[in-house]
Amino acid sequence: MSGAENSRFDVVVGGGGCTGSTFACIAAMAGLRVALIENREPELEWPNDSVDLRVFAITRASQCIFSSLGVWDEIVGGGVSPFREMRVWDAGGDGAIHFDCAEIGEAVLGHIIEQRVIQAALQRKLSAFGTAVACFRDTVEDFMLRGDDTIDVELASGQTLQARLLVGADGADSRIRERAGITVHEQDYQQQAIVAVVTTGESHQETAWQRFLPDGPLALLPLRDGRSSIVWSTDTDHATELLTMDDAQFCDALGEAFDYRLGLITRVGERVSFPLQRLHADTYLGGRVALIGDAAHVIHPLAGQGVNLGLLDAAVLAEVAGDAKAAGRDPGSARVLRGYERWRRGDNELMLRSMDGFKLLFGSSLVPVKWLRSTGLNLVDNLGPVKGIFSRYAMGLFGDLPKAARCNTTTVTTR
């Protein structure tokens, strides 16, 4: 391949995380030639007894996307933890709701999967595409339009690539979004999320647990080795206090906050925290630029939907761009990209606003509000059809799904 050919692509993707890599895979399968720009080497091997602190609650729709790419079996081989039930209850009242996959005729509600397991499977898939996908250990420095049908993408190394479309998958602090002049609506929640791996006195029962506390939700997510991953969202001052505790003090505080639903917390690993914010780009599009995932929207983690929204973004954008090329049209044209934004923006906005609503509702100490939320949880828990709708919505099985997210998920391979 000549140097000139190695610098011309249909699509350049800035950011090789799960969302960017998923887009690159689907786009390559759709016949697009892709350059993936990511400066970090992927982690492909790790000790058997270690657990990545970054885990995702993967919906059935996201599972379908991975299945359509042919990487689901490898992800399962790397280690997944299915959750078949979900229990949610309110610390400020007697409200509770219980979801069970059997009630809606599904094998599981979803899977808890380490980020590195997904990333490794996607990296191996990308390597199998040969010259259809070129991976650069680099970052996008700048870009500019050249003529009517090309965007020049300058990398930090000084190399310049040409493409029809530049995809921003470079996270919440997206440089591509900034250089495209796309503004955002941003809200600092004044909270931190503490994540860690813990050992509990009782089995997690393949159940995702969540307790709504006055200062934020606390979730315990089942891991494949019997331990649980916690995501504890709380006020910044409280988070600082929790992080400075020794292990025994933290285990006691966590057990009390979790109402000892799984017995005593007997061990905790490394604890880290990250700030919580809400972010939504005013547009997902610039001149031959499209944003996906956290570059376009960041959501509160209380429902674990962030990565799943990004994977749907990736699948939709790859589909409309691939369809355009197959029809002899320009995959980076404004008309094609507007189709992507119309498809995804409304669903993302609905999820963002829903999570804000839940945060406000469960964060209120007003007695009428506490009564209302407890009554609402108990009412929905006793209305099977309504609860089924909530379950399927959370699983990503409602709405206008891209082709990659539509598959038969009744048969599930797990370990």
* pLDDT of the chain, 415 residues: tens digit per residue: 334 557 899 999 999 999 999 999 999 999 999 999 999 988 888 887 788 889 999 999 999 999 999 999 999 999 999 999 999 998 888 888 898 988 888 899 999 999 999 999 999 999 999 989 999 999 999 999 998 899 999 999 999 999 999 999 999 999 999 999 999 999 998 999 999 999 999 999 999 999 999 889 999 999 999 999 999 999 999 999 999 999 999 999 999 999 999 999 999 999 999 999 999 999 999 999 999 999 999 998 876 788 999 999 999 999 999 999 999 999 999 999 999 999 999 999 988 887 777 666 666 677 777 777 778 778 777 777 777 877 777 787 777 899 999 876 443 444 3
Q: What is the CATH superfamily name and number for domain 5-83+107-185+280-359+397-405?
A: FAD/NAD(P)-binding domain (3.50.50.60)
Q: Which residues pair with 274 in a beta bridge?
A: 193
**3-state class (DSSP) for residue 70:** coil
Residue 176 one-letter amino acid: I
Residue 98: beta bridge partners?
87
Distance CA 370, CA 378 (A): 12
Kindly list the domain boundaries of the chain, sorted by start residue.
5-83+107-185+280-359+397-405
Q: Are 85 and 100 in contact (CB under 8 A)?
A: yes
Supply the pTM of this predicted model: 0.92
DSSP state of 117: H
Q: Output phi, psi for 154, to 5 deg.
A: -95, 125
Give, as one character, the DSSP assignment of residue 226: S
Q: Which two tokens stand for residue 129?
A: 């595409």
Q: Which two tokens stand for residue 46?
A: 């790790």
Chain centroid to CA 266 = 29
Q: How far apart are CA 56 and CA 65, in angstroms?
A: 15
Q: Which two tokens stand for residue 341?
A: 């934004």
Residue listed under structure tokens 């505790």: 245
